[in-house]
Amino acid sequence: MPPGASAMDFFQLFVPDNVLKNMVVQTNMYAKKFQERFGSDGAWAEVTLTEMKAFLGYMISTSISHCESVLSIWSGGFYSNRSLALVMSQARFEKILKYFHVVAFRSSQTTHGLYKVQPFLDSLQNGFDSAFRPSQTQVLHEPLIDEDPVFIATCTERELRKRKKRKFSLWVRQCSSTGFIIQIYVHLKEGGGPDGLDALKNKPQLHSMVARSLCRNAAGKNYIIFTGPSITSLTLFEELEKQDIYCCGLLSSRKSDCTGLPLSMLTNPATPPARGQHRIKMKGNMSLICWYNKGHFRFLTNAYSPVQQGVIIKRKSGEIPCPLAVEAFAAHLSYICKYDDKYSKYFISHKPNKTWQQVFWFAVSIAINNAYILYKMSDAYHVKRYSRAQFGERLVRELLGLEEASPAH
């Protein structure tokens, strides 16, 4: 990207104009069909590309102001923003919100519950793949997308009860040296049936299904994937190894699928060993490491040699010896935690009731975070050095057509 590239240029690597134009067409089609069915709406006029960009801009502004309701921009209250409010009237915004669609109608062959956002997720995925080449080490996990804890602490019980539970879980494969989200997988909770999300908590086979679909495009690249206990399993790691994907995962006798692992390594000895001590069992390239540090930690890996030594440095107790796999796992996970702490603050806080819309706004939030990561890696960063919040403000102003204004410092 050139040094003069704007926030909008980076965002449009993932959400280009043709995707926005499609939203315009689909929204207008839906509005027409809706009015044919439920009576005409005199206040409605077909939406344009400029209005669609402004509509997205208003929604994205809630990720910077952390305001629950996007309508407070026009309210004159604490979250109101006069310069943004002048671009479009509140009534017009609410009309677009009412009819907004990415896919207006179900085609005859769709059985998928996410058919209303799937084309958007697919185009986003193509953008991620073509714009970024990830590092060798990556992490599979569920990012922090739940409610802002401050909001939870301040709202009343009644408001909390009113909030519908999310009907999906969002999993990602994330580059562990930049935090760029390479791939998104949305698992729908189809009612309370056996395949529902409640069952997902203790269903290792569902977790390994998630892992397989997240690693679909990763074969043959010698990636090293770090996984949490719910995904770690011998069968999955062996299957991925055949595709030249190597793994290192934390193992838990409670949460993990321990099929095929020696029981002697899964039980704790009667007397705890000294800190930093470890035991190893190997089978081919796969090694099971049991390491002790104020508790037993078990790791399954075929990415690191179990005899290579590493250290974990603690501020108080100094260096604790451990196998290299343990040190690598700790380092990559702490990076992802830092990323989550920094970037999960910038998710769009508009909370729609429809599941497809919730997925859509989460996906847009991820696209903006990814756009900022690319911005930080490009020459454009050295020109203005925007923080994540300034980058977001800049993007909102550019989407609303106010880009000549300089960002507030």
- CATH classification for the domain delimited by 117-260+326-342, as one of 3.30.420, 1.10.287, 3.40.50, 3.30.70: 3.30.420
Give tens-digit pLDDT for 273-286: 888 888 899 988 99
d(C-alpha 14, C-alpha 216), whole Å: 20
Map residue 293 onto helix, strand or coil.
coil
Single-letter amino acid, residue 24? V
Under DSSP, the state recorded for 292 is E
Give tens-digit pLDDT for 163-183: 556 788 889 999 988 889 999
pLDDT at position 192 is 44
pLDDT at position 32 is 94
Mean pLDDT of 47-67: 91
Give tens-digit pLDDT for 227-246: 988 889 999 999 999 999 99
Q: How confident is the model at residue 145 (pLDDT cuts 50, 70, 90)?
A: low
Mean pLDDT of 246-267: 87
d(C-alpha 101, C-alpha 28), whole Å: 9
Percentage of the chain modeled with pLDDT above 70: 89
Q: CB-based burial of residue 396 (10 Å sphere; 0-12 exposed, 13-18 middle, 19+ buried)?
A: buried
Q: Which helix (H) or strand (E) holds 319?
A: strand 318-323
Mean pLDDT of 318-336: 87
d(C-alpha 145, C-alpha 161), whole Å: 19
Q: How confident is the model at residue 374 (pLDDT cuts 50, 70, 90)?
A: very high
Backbone angles phi, psi at 196, to 5 degrees: -70, 175
Mean pLDDT of 16-29: 95
Tokens of 95: 């009309």
> How far apart, in Å, do the first and last CA atoms of the chain sit?
24
- Residue 102 CB coordination number (10 Å): 21
Q: Where are the domains of the chain?
A: 7-110+354-400, 117-260+326-342
